[in-house]
Amino acid sequence: MAPPKLKRNFPPITEYNGTSSPHESVAADLDGTLLISRSSFPYFMLVAVEAGSLLRGFILLLSVPFIIFAYLFVSESLGIQMLIFISFAGLQFDDIELASRAVLPRFYAADVRRESFEVFDRCKRKVVVTANPTVMVDAFVKDYLGGDKVLGTEIEMNSKTKKATGFVKKPGVLVGDLKRLAVVKEFGDELPDFGLGDRKTDHDFMSICKVWLLVY
């Protein structure tokens, strides 16, 4: 049975001195936490253009007001689902993966938040938990950040055409409680020593970690 969510205050990461807590494992959010930017839109745009076309990128750009409205006033999950659908629907999965490996890492690397990465890097077992599609961030997390695994949103692929449908696999976009459940499933009884996040929807998974640090 999953551990209960605890009501806690989350101290800023700048208050952590790195001397009093163990450095065994960490579960960290990506956008706004390990990365400075809180928005993943520029990275979706890059993949949409590189794996798709300039026309797809233009359509994605025109869709921004609708995506922002959905994200802010309906749900974070819906906003990200719209990003995924417009960016990936109909593209070959291999092309998405190639663009994510060849193009994105150098842009991600220029956006790394130093204080978060220092905590992340000290730990032996490093897991990133993110609403972003796993295929987009896996190469960067493992090759550049030295992470062990990405718990991210899995995009659905047509098994015959090998093209992305634009939808996501169950349990859906990894936000809020779904992040917590993914961390519990991955770590089992040995829950992470550190939980790093930057927004309210990260509190669910952070609250089950031994040390919780919020990035402002």
CA 5 vs CA 25, 78, 88, 188, 205: distances in Å = 19, 24, 34, 15, 8
Among 40, 56, 27, 48, which residue's Cα sits nearest to residue 180? Answer: 27
The full set of domain ranges for the chain reads: 13-214
Task: Output the tens digit of pLDDT for each of the chain's 216 residues.
Answer: 445 444 455 667 766 766 555 579 999 999 999 999 999 999 999 999 999 999 999 999 999 999 999 999 999 999 999 999 999 999 999 999 999 999 999 999 999 999 999 999 999 999 999 999 999 999 999 999 999 999 999 999 999 999 999 999 999 999 999 999 999 999 998 999 999 999 999 999 999 998 889 998
**CATH value of 13-214 in 3.40.470.10, 3.40.50.12780, 3.40.50.1000, 3.30.465.10:** 3.40.50.1000
Encoded tokens for 39: 């928005």
- Residue 16: phi and psi, rounded to 5, are -80, 130
CA 186 vs CA 52, 97, 150, 194: distances in Å = 33, 23, 10, 14
What is residue 33's predicted lDDT score, i.e. its pLDDT? 96
What is residue 18's predicted lDDT score, i.e. its pLDDT? 62
Instruction: State pLDDT tens for residues 68-94.
Output: 999 999 999 999 999 999 999 999 999
CA distance 208 to 2: 10
Instruction: State pLDDT tens for residues 154-170.
Output: 999 999 999 999 999 99
Among 108, 120, 146, which residue's Cα sits nearest to residue 29? Answer: 120
Q: How many CA atoms lie within 13 Å of 211's alpha carbon, on the beta-carbon side?
A: 20
What is residue 7's predicted lDDT score, i.e. its pLDDT? 44
CA 112 vs CA 34, 130, 172: distances in Å = 6, 15, 26
